[in-house]
Structure 1
Amino acid sequence: MKIYQFNKEAGKRVTKFDSDFVMSRITQTQNSAHVGCIYLEAGGVIGFHEAVLPQLLLVVAGEGWVRGDSNEYIKIQKGQAAFWNKGEWHETKTPNGLTAIVIESEELNVSSMKAL
């Protein structure tokens, strides 16, 4: 057995796209799936950019706002997830802080999730 950590201290600061957040990568499969944990502090933002792959953002703590190609922000909180297709422009921001697991993969299938 091995014990691993994916807390904020294990992550790296990301500043691309005018972003300011810490991301801890968790795993990468042979099928080109990426799973990571994002820590957005109060006032944090994942800047508006194009999704390189289909992407699922699962909020595990806190709350914030997400948007896709439109300028309409939608509130998101613990226990909810946002999905963006490959090529879709998107942004995430939070006034008080947010922690989320992010999964990116060409083969990402969210059909088993319950839609709001």
Structure 2
Amino acid sequence: MEAFGSVGVTAQVLFQGDAAVVTVLRVAAGGEIGRHPAPVDQLLVVTRGRGAVRAGDGDWQSVRAGQAVVWRSGEEHTTRADEDIEAVVVEVAASRSAHG
């Protein structure tokens, strides 16, 4: 995946439905998912590795296996890997009424 100037990133969609998409992301050590706006609300759960995330123009925040990050729709963000990272990303579209 090279979108947004990303380097060392692969993505595998596990599930894609009307309201949610679940993807496994892998970012190689030294790689980065380039800065981009979240198209919908996103949850990133790091399952392996260590790196850092940044939202908007904020400071880099360390992230490692067992931690999660939430980005809201439209929020600019980026992720970099200090060591190989594997993460599950859950993207959720705007909520829909269960009653129609």
Partner of 1:53: 40
Which of 14, 18, 30 is 1:30 aligned to? 18
What CA RMSD, in Å, does the superposition of the two structures yield over aligned residues? 1.2
Structure 1 residue ranges without an equivalent (≥5): 1-13, 109-116
* In structure 1, C-alpha distance between the alignment counterparts of 2:41 and 2:32, rounded to whole Å: 19
Displacement of 1:107 in angstroms is 4.6
* In structure 2, C-alpha distance between the alignment counterparts of 1:96 and 1:61, rounded to whole Å: 9
Partner of 2:98: none
Partner of 1:76: 63
* In structure 2, C-alpha distance between the alignment counterparts of 1:75 and 1:107, rounded to whole Å: 29
- The SS at the match of 2:4 is helix
* Structure with the higher fraction of residues in strand conformation: 2
Structure 1 residue runs of 4 or more that deviate by more than 3 Å after TM superposition: none
- The SS at the match of 1:76 is strand
Which of 27, 33, 50 is 1:63 aligned to? 50
Partner of 1:112: none
Displacement of 1:30 in angstroms is 2.9
* In structure 2, C-alpha distance between the alignment counterparts of 1:54 and 1:30, rounded to whole Å: 14
% identical aligned pairs: 33
- The SS at the match of 1:17 is helix
Displacement of 1:71 in angstroms is 3.5
Contact 2:40 2:94 in 1 (8 A): no
Q: Which has the higher contact order (CA 8 A, sep 6+)?
A: 2
Aligned length: 94
Partner of 2:84: 97
